[in-house]
Amino acid sequence: MAKPQKRGILEKLAEGPVLGDGGYLLELEKRGRVRAGPFTPEVALNNPDALLELHREFRDAGAEVLQALTFYASRDKLATVGMEERVEELNRAAVRIAKKAAEDRCLVAGNLSLTWMYEPNDKAAADRVRKTFDEQLDVQVAEGVDFIIGETFSFLGEALLAVERAKATRLPVMVTVCFENEDITPDGKKAADVAKALADAGADIVGINCLRSPEHTLPLMTEMRKAVNGYIGCQPVAYRTTHEHRDFTSLAAFPDQLEPYQLTRREMAGYATKAREIGVNYIGACCGAVATHIREMARALGKIPADDRVWKKGGQKPMSAYEYYGHDEKPKVSGKAQ
């Protein structure tokens, strides 16, 4: 019997919201597998089992997409840690690990990220960015990714280059930008302008990822929803950012004292619900989001059922503090989209 054909990202989106995964680099740094500062993904080569385990955690939590850990897996970025000659090897390994974890239960997305090389109105810089993207894409596509995600672009101009090069693969393309502490990109574009420009350039899904909490991301997603008719995607950080420091990387606690800022699982579930209400099609998360967040988001979106494992309560006395303090009788605190 022929194996049923896997539905692609666009087919899934046509049926309703798709749930993405969480963050990789900061979580792996907490586990001692990635160095804070460069945040380069050599874990795919040096400790593939650690990366495989994190992918599986997101998969089992209900994520419908796993992103290959090829963020910052470009030649110039890897040169900062002496690994510029291992670009192909690292990108290949990262995709293979994500595919192994997916087990045909999830789609696997290739990944491009900001390069730190882009300069507005600089043709040589633009060509260098194109070459950088192509070097990664050639490997990722050859390894069989299902679609491409380009993310965390501060400049609209660099995001448009990601659309251009990713569209050349003939795979579906999602490109998302990030907004720092101001609601405008460094090249002077508002959220609505960005969404329209990316969609007009041919991106199948456009949106925002990283840097900001849901609280400071969702208003901009609302602007994007009004600006375009196509699919939009949102992947905020799972950290509580402030009105002064909307970008979590500008917090004094970044990168290794962020635990007090981490959102609860119910707050992230609240974010997922709100995102669906405003018409976000691809609902995921970024730095700080772990499997517990994704699991509660999956439940909020109806992707997985409530926990129904057997629990026989009763007897003359409570058998846990949960019963002793009456937590099963108290109303649940609803999650807010922070």
Record the tokens describing residue 183, joined without a space: 């609601």
Record the tokens describing residue 102, joined without a space: 């997916």
Of 262, 148, 161, give the one whose Cα is nearest residue 214.
Answer: 262
Q: What would the DSSP string read from start to end of 66-119? A: EE-S-TT-SHHHHHTTT-GGGHHHHHHHHHHHHHHHHTTSSEEEEEEE--S---
Record the tokens describing residue 134, joined without a space: 């192509």
- What would the pLDDT profile of 2-24 be if each residue is shown by its tens digit? 566 789 999 999 999 999 999 99
DSSP label of 335: P
Give percent above pLDDT 70 in the chain.
96
The kind and range of the H/E element at 208 are strand 205-209
Q: How confident is the model at residue 302 (pLDDT cuts 50, 70, 90)?
A: very high
The kind and range of the H/E element at 25 are helix 25-30
Q: Which of 4-8, 45-49, 206-210 has the lowest mean pLDDT?
A: 4-8
Q: What is the mean pLDDT of the chain?
A: 95
* Upper half-sphere CA count for residue 112 (Cβ side, 13 Å): 36
- What would the pLDDT profile of 125-158 be if each residue is shown by its tens digit? 999 999 999 999 999 999 999 999 999 999 999 9
The Cα–Cα gap between 249 and 238 comes to: 12
Angle of the 214-227 helix axis to the 265-277 helix axis, nearest 10: 10
Longest alpha-carbon distance in the chain: 77
Give mean pLDDT, residues 328-335: 69
Residue 338: the pLDDT is: 58
Token pair 């890897």 is at which residue? 78
Q: Which residues pair with 283 in a beta bridge?
A: 19, 234
- Using a 10 angstrom Cβ sphere, with 0-12 exposed, 13-18 middle and 19 or more buried, the burial of residue 262 is middle
SS3 23: coil
Q: How confident is the model at residue 333 (pLDDT cuts 50, 70, 90)?
A: low
- Using a 10 angstrom Cβ sphere, with 0-12 exposed, 13-18 middle and 19 or more buried, the burial of residue 77 is buried
Q: Give the number of other CB atoms < 10 A from CB of residue 62.
A: 19
Q: Which domains does the chain have, with CATH numbers?
A: 9-329 (3.20.20.330)
Q: Give the number of other CB atoms < 10 A from CB of residue 314.
A: 7
The torsion defined by the Cα of 150, 130, 200 and 281, in degrees rounded to 10, comes to -10
pLDDT above 70: residue 336: no
Residue 337: the pLDDT is: 56
Q: Which amino acid is at 275?
A: A
Cα–chain center distance at 142: 22
Buried b vs exposed e over 26-48: b needs ≥16 C-beta within 10 Å? bbbbbeebbeeeebbbbbbbebe
The Cα–Cα gap between 51 and 98 comes to: 8
Residue 308: the pLDDT is: 87
15 in the Ramachandran plot: left (φ > 0), alpha (ψ -120 to 50) or beta? Answer: alpha
Residue 3: the pLDDT is: 60
